[in-house]
Amino acid sequence: MDNMTHFTTYTLMEPHNAKSYRYIYFTGFLFLYAMILFLNIWLSVVIVLEKALHEPMYIFLCNLCVNDIYGTAAFYPKFLHDLILNSYVIPSYMCAFQAFVVYTYVMCEYSTLAVMAYDRHVAICQPLDYHSKMNTFSCSILLGLCWVIPFLNMFIAVFLSNRLVPCRNHIEKLFCDNWSIVKLSCESTVINNIYGFIFISLYFGLVIVIMMSYIKLIIACKASLECRRKFWQTCVPHIISLINLTVAILFDTIYNRFGSSDFPVNFRMFLALEMIVVPPLFNPVIYGIKLSEVRKRVLKLCMNRTNDDKD
């Protein structure tokens, strides 16, 4: 029983053929991380600098980009460091911190998409009340809730997992998450399972509410060509991001609950990484291409930059 208290570090899963391909992995993931940072920072800077984009929809989009930067910072630097040293070990306190950041990133992503859905619902269904309902105070409260609720949820989840005494120290994943830490314990995890079920159910319910709001918007937009145009330009990117994130979380849940050595190694890696690779990379691309105002401002800044370089 004493041996159960001596794990100050955990070992993580090694990438497939890490010794042979670690420099290829390093180059690929470094490029991927650089692209995520560039796209999200660039879009955030455009929104901050352009006064025409200081509207609730674009402010929430900026929050989505900031959250993507926050979430990926928990994985890529550590993973790149592990590839360089060819050592996949993490201190237990850093593992808990990484799990905290990854899960708050996911919950904040969902919360932001929910707020964006509400913003579009008011803009399309109640245009005359839009500026009174989505004023500076309301936007500040909604942005605060996007961060405060996930942080409170994860403080409780991490506290519940840290009270467990681990009897194993290997995490079958490339990064730490809360469920992987809980599975290391040989004690009863009933409380953790109940709490996890409650907050998964809440966020699953949130997804249903978001989808129902978009269905209501589709019905409301049938009668007006202008509404249909506005829906196509502003709501379709939200729906794509929501589906993208939900599929990623579904893959992660399948991996956590049912992942085993019976699956091919490459498929297991894909399940483990999809959540922190696809949404942060594609969100700024989807919004940058589909939202005409963002696209115009990005092109304007690029043209100004090109002209300055020529001068």
Which residues have C-beta within 8 Å of that of residue 117, sequence separation ≥ 6?
210, 213, 214, 238, 242
- Structural domain including 177 reads 9-309
The pLDDT value recorded for residue 49 is: 83
Q: Strand 170-171 and strand 89-91: pairing?
A: unpaired
The pLDDT value recorded for residue 8 is: 84
Could you tell me if residue 235 is inside a domain? yes
Could you tell me if residue 273 is inside a domain? yes
Q: Give the pLDDT band of residue 309 (cuts 50, 70, 90).
A: low
The three-class DSSP label of residue 182 is: helix
The pLDDT value recorded for residue 1 is: 43
| pLDDT top residue among 41 and 256 | 41
Residue 311 has pLDDT above 60, yes or no: no
The pLDDT value recorded for residue 3 is: 46
| pLDDT top residue among 133 and 124 | 133
The pLDDT value recorded for residue 79 is: 94
pLDDT digit string (tens) for 288-298? Answer: 766 666 766 66
The pLDDT value recorded for residue 10 is: 92
| pLDDT top residue among 303 and 56 | 56
Residue 137 has pLDDT above 90, yes or no: yes
Residue 26 has pLDDT above 50, yes or no: yes
pLDDT digit string (tens) for 215-271? Answer: 888 887 777 777 777 777 777 778 888 888 888 787 777 767 665 556 676 776 776
Could you tell me if residue 292 is inside a domain? yes
Number of neighbours of residue 210 by Cβ within 10 angstroms:
22
On whether the CB atoms of residues 83 and 2 are closer than 8 A, the answer is: no
The pLDDT value recorded for residue 121 is: 84
Could you tell me if residue 75 is inside a domain? yes
Task: Give the helix ranges, DSSP H, for the chain.
Answer: 18-49, 56-72, 76-85, 92-125, 130-133, 136-162, 178-183, 190-221, 225-234, 236-258, 265-290, 292-310
Could you tell me if residue 2 is inside a domain? no
CATH of the domain at 112: 1.20.1070.10
The pLDDT value recorded for residue 97 is: 94
The pLDDT value recorded for residue 91 is: 93
- The total domain count for the chain is 1
The three-class DSSP label of residue 8 is: coil
The pLDDT value recorded for residue 259 is: 57
The pair phi, psi for residue 43, each rounded to 5°, is: -65, -40
The pLDDT value recorded for residue 306 is: 56
The pLDDT value recorded for residue 2 is: 47
The Cα 133–Cα 146 span in angstroms is 17
pLDDT, the chain, mean? 84
The pLDDT value recorded for residue 301 is: 62
Which residues have C-beta within 8 Å of that of residue 32, sequence separation ≥ 6?
76, 277, 281
pTM: 0.87
For 121-155, give the DSSP string: HHHHH-GGGHHHHS-HHHHHHHHHHHHHHHHHHHH
The pLDDT value recorded for residue 95 is: 92
Could you tell me if residue 102 is inside a domain? yes
Residue 190 has pLDDT above 60, yes or no: yes
Tokens describing residue 141: 């409260």
Could you tell me if residue 4 is inside a domain? no
Could you tell me if residue 145 is inside a domain? yes
